[in-house]
Amino acid sequence: MVGALAILMIGYSAVEAGWLHNLLEQGGVSAEVDCAKTDGLSEVLQQQKWDLVLTDDRPDLCAAQVSGLLAGLGLSVPVIALVSQQDEQAAARLIAAGVQDVLLKSDPVRLMAAIRGCQRYIGHLRDLREAQLALERSEARFRAIASNLPGLVFQFVLESEGSVFFPYVSEGSRSLLGLSPDYLQEKPDSFARLIVAKDAASYDQSLLDSREHLSAWNWEGRIQAEGDVDVKWISLRATPRRTPRGAVLWDGIMLNITRNKQIELEIARSRAQLEELSAYSQKAKEQERTRIAREIHDDIGGTLTAIKCELVPCLDNSSRTSEFYRNKAEAVESLVDMVIDSTRRIALDLRPGVLDCGIVAAVQWQAREFNKRTGVSCTVMCDCEDISLDGDLAVAIFRIFQEALTNISKHANASEVRVKLAETGSQVYLEVADNGRGITHLDMAKVNSFGIRSMRERCQQLGGQFHIQGGPLVGTEVLIWIPVNGQSIIGGESRLN
């Protein structure tokens, strides 16, 4: 509803302004009526927002001049000229000069009707102005949201003849594509040129499928901005609609999903490696079972068969000399010792009994065994005589140490190995360093590098961390941190002195 009209009467007295106010009040029109002289008229016109100007038309006060003054000030205010007598030519001249209407002073009925019409016109203007302001606010909110989204908001049009253009592109195109919105709108084909060649076919196909079926346009692929060494993964999601001209318009968003894609690829690689490790572990178990079965059959079984052969002659009723039985007893005793040695050796392979003496003693024993077997010097440093660990944890650390030594003997070509074992706070730290040829990234990336994977998996299962590093001049270092009570830890860094 329009409020009180602000009416300015130019060239009229306060009495005449009061008369107009009473006339409007009687007609049910709410208005504030002021009067002004011609002196300082510009200042008066700019003092407040006027809805209507009523002016006389006489030689010293021309209504056309008032209309021109308002236009010069950039004010869109309707002007009604009140004249003393009817003059068609004068009225036409005033209308042509921008005056809204020309009325006789003596005709209050037409004046009242004109002011009512002006009131309706002002109401429409105010409604339009409010709608424009609401639209501007809405556009401002949309642009603010679009510019702060972690991606690119766009409108994309594909014409029936195949041409494309972007009606709207948000500022996110600068960071995502390395192109300004104006450049992308001016050269819409520049986006397609950013797509990596291997992904271009899937992009074109997804676009055509969405146009044909008016279905959601979903595409993921790689782009490389000009001058950018990194390749980005982007996710494009858009909804199509057909325009009256037969083109298809998509409203959509593009997001940078490089980090998520890298995580997905890393998970896929980890799963593949885990499957390979599981298969390798299963194969190793079967080989170990076969070896143990062979040793039991060949060593223990063969020796027991020999014992039986020695005992059989002693079971008949033939008379034997004491020397015969003494020789048999000595042979059986020797064979029993062989069975005991074989049993101890097999048991030692399955679980070294030295672990019962603690992890420190077990690591020192394994280092001595490694030195005897390979001739490589292996020095163990530990700040304490023993580290109290859960049995399973001690076995896991011991197996990791064994695997590290196995890798050194197979690949390092080292002459010296240094081992550090320590308990720091709530974690156990093991460092195995050699002075060999040094492991490289290519070595660690090999498909059959199961030893490294096995060590890493053991650490992760125990909530610990595993790190391996090396180079041609520095040898190789294997570092592990494992929590004593199963809590997650942040691995520090230690070096051998």
- Over residues 427-478, the pLDDT tens digits come to 888 999 999 888 887 777 666 666 777 788 778 888 888 888 888 778 899 9
For the chain, give the percent of residues with pLDDT over 70. 89
The pLDDT confidence band at residue 301, using thresholds 50, 70 and 90, is: confident
Average pLDDT, the chain: 81
* pLDDT reported for residue 53: 85
Task: Write the burial class of residue 105 (CB in 10 Å: 0-12 exposed, 13-18 middle, 19+ buried).
Answer: middle
pLDDT of residue 354: 67
The answer to whether residue 237 scores a pLDDT higher than 70 is: yes
* 136: pLDDT strictly greater than 60: yes
Cα 44 vs. chain centroid, distance in angstroms?
60
pLDDT at residue 424 above 90? no
> Residue 229, Cβ neighbours under 10 Å: how many?
6
What is the spatial distance between Cα 377 and Cα 414, in angstroms, rounded to a whole number? 9
Q: Is the pLDDT of residue 135 over 60?
A: yes
- Model pTM score: 0.42
pLDDT at 409: 87
Of 345, 314, 317, nearest to 332 by C-alpha is: 314
What are the backbone angles phi and psi of residue 31, rounded to the nearest 5°? -155, 150
Q: What is the pLDDT of residue 487?
A: 47
Residue at 97: amino acid letter: A
DSSP character string of 320-373: --HHHHHHHHHHHHHHHHHHHHHHHHHHHHHS-GGGGG-HHHHHHHHHHHHHHH
Locate 62 and state its tokens. Answer: 């021309």
486 pLDDT band (50/70/90 cuts)?
Answer: low
| 259 CB-side CA count, 13 A | 2
Helix (H, G, I), strand (E, B) or coil at 138: helix
Number of helices and strands in the chain (H, E):
16, 15
Whole-Å CA distances, 296 to 94, 291, 309, 360, 439: 123, 9, 18, 31, 38
Contact between 9 and 17 under an 8 Å Cβ cutoff? The reply is: yes
The answer to whether residue 219 scores a pLDDT higher than 90 is yes
User: At a CB cut-off of 8 Å and minimum separation 6, what does 91 contact?
Assistant: 83, 102
> At CB < 8 A and 24+ separation, what contacts does 323-332 make?
332/307
- Is the confidence at residue 182, as pLDDT, over 70? yes
Cα–Cα distance for residue pair 483/259, rounded to 1 Å: 30
User: Confidence class of residue 235 from pLDDT cuts 50, 70 and 90?
Assistant: very high
The reported pLDDT for the residue numbered 190 is: 92
Residue 158's contacts (CB-CB under 8 Å, 6 or more residues apart) are 164, 207, 211, 247, 248, 250
Lowest mean pLDDT among 120-124, 136-140, 274-278: 274-278
**pLDDT of amino acid 293:** 72
| Lowest-pLDDT choice from 181-185, 214-218, 361-365, 454-458 | 454-458
Q: Which residue has the tokens 């766009």?
A: 154
Residue-level pLDDT at 491: 39
Helix/strand/coil for 16: helix
Q: Are 376 and 417 in contact (CB under 8 A)?
A: yes
Look at residue 462 in the predicted model and tell me its pLDDT. 82
Which pLDDT does position 191 carry in this prediction? 92
Over the stretch 400-418, which tens digit does the pLDDT of each residue have?
A: 888 888 888 888 888 899 9
pLDDT score for 96:
85
Residue 295 has pLDDT above 80, yes or no: no
Q: What pLDDT was estimated at residue 447? A: 61
Of the candidate ranges 230-239, 363-372, 468-477, the one whose mean pLDDT is the lowest: 468-477
Q: What pLDDT is attached to residue 214?
A: 93
- Residue 87 — φ and ψ, nearest 5°? -145, 105
Bridge pairing between strands 217-223 and 52-56 = unpaired
Residue-by-residue DSSP string for 369-423: HHHHHH--EEEEEESSS-----HHHHHHHHHHHHHHHHHIIIII--SEEEEEEEE
Confidence label for 495 from pLDDT (cuts 50, 70 and 90): very low
Which ranges of 86-196 does DSSP label H, i.e. alpha helix? 88-96, 108-148, 172-177, 181-186, 190-194
Identify which has the larger pLDDT, 57 or 379: 379
Which residues are 239's β-sheet partners?
251
Residue 494 has pLDDT above 60, yes or no: no
Classify residue 300 by burial, with Cβ atoms within 10 Å: 0-12, 13-18, 19+.
middle
Instruction: Note the pLDDT tens digit of each residue in 139-159.
Output: 777 666 656 666 888 999 999
Partner residues linked to 250 by β-bridges? 156, 240
Cross-sheet strand order for the sheet of 427-434? 377-382, 416-424, 427-434, 475-483, 465-471
C-alpha span between 476 and 459 (Å, rounded): 18
Label residue 202 by pLDDT band (50, 70, 90).
Answer: very high
2, pLDDT greater than 60 = no
Q: How far is CA 58 from the centre of its chain?
A: 75
More confident residue, 283 or 73: 73
CB atoms within 10 A of CB 209: 13
The yes-or-no verdict on residue 25 having pLDDT over 90 is no
- Confidence grade of residue 11 (pLDDT, cut at 50, 70, 90): confident
What digits encode the pLDDT tens for the residues 78-126? Answer: 888 888 787 788 888 888 888 878 888 778 888 888 888 777 777 777 7
- Quick check: 489 pLDDT over 60? no
Residue 152: HSE in the Cβ half-sphere, 13 Å Cα cutoff = 24
- Look at residue 245 in the predicted model and tell me its pLDDT: 86
What ranges make up the beta strands (E) of 224-319?
Answer: 232-242, 248-256
